[in-house]
Amino acid sequence: MNVPINKLTMIGTGLSALLILLAAFSPWLAPLDPLDQSFIAANQGPTAEHWFGTDSFGRDVLSRVLFGGRISLAIGILAPVLSALAGVWAGMLAGYLGGWTDRVLSRASDLLMSFPTLLLGVMIAAALGPSFQSAVIAIAVALFPRFVRLSRSATQVVRREPFIDASIAAGRGHLSIMLHHVLPNIAGPLVVALSLWIATAIRLEAALSFLGLGAQPPTPSWGNMIRDGMSDLVGDPWPAAFAGAAITLAVLAFNMVGDALRDLLDPETAA
């Protein structure tokens, strides 16, 4: 395998790793407590003390962006991972077993796919009530049918390979075959999809938080920072501007990682 690593791949990987590290170490990197209010310092632009300015409550925007990354990235990564764990196995069962199992799981995923991703996430988060856990569940369910359909179609291709029939003839159980033969052969496109859908999940988290259905104030997240900043966008644009820039960078970085993985795992490219 001889796949060139271009500059965009290195930038995307480095940027996504940097954002994760900044969020993970935000308690030590943030200059101030993100919840500390100071009405004397409210609505200030960038200064030596407040590099990203302050919001309408005088809270340091840089500190809130760093701490907000913990929530936004945690939801953006955790939800697709949970969705993949459930969706991949459901799709493998549907593609491998076929019959009524395939029909039931396919119709269920088709039903969920009939709703736009954001609308489905909003409906679930609104039904569960606004919270971190609700946002994770809502985004995971919204992405679930996409993993089902991808893993199902890939499994159907592998299921027709002769080595699967040979494993069955050798007396290996279906679960063992799916775990040791099917899953390794469909992992490539699933890893690519996971990295790309992390970017989608970050956008969905921002939308849910903007609508008040994600992490609740005063806990900062990039989405609710934009919502808070929209109340005075002309007089104090800094919270919305820097939180929006963080979302843009995160989505761009994970999309670049996904593109790099797609090139790396594409058999035609890897040849």
DSSP 42-54: TT--S-SS-TT-B
Determine the topology of domain 59-270 in CATH.
Answer: MetI-like fold (1.10.3720)
The Cα 127–Cα 129 span in angstroms is 6
Report, as an integer, the average pLDDT of 74-101.
Answer: 93
Q: How confident is the model at residue 237 (pLDDT cuts 50, 70, 90)?
A: confident
Q: What is the pLDDT of residue 271?
A: 43
169, β-bridge pairs: none
Q: What is the pLDDT of residue 258?
A: 84
Measure Cα distances from 233 to 162, 193, 221, 243 in Å: 62, 35, 18, 13
Q: Which helix (H) or strand (E) element contains residue 27?
A: helix 26-29
Q: What is the pLDDT of residue 3?
A: 46
Please write the tens of the pLDDT for every residue from 145-184: 999 999 999 999 998 888 888 888 888 888 888 888 899 8
The Cα 229–Cα 26 span in angstroms is 21
First CA to last CA across the chain, in angstroms? 6
DSSP character for 60? B
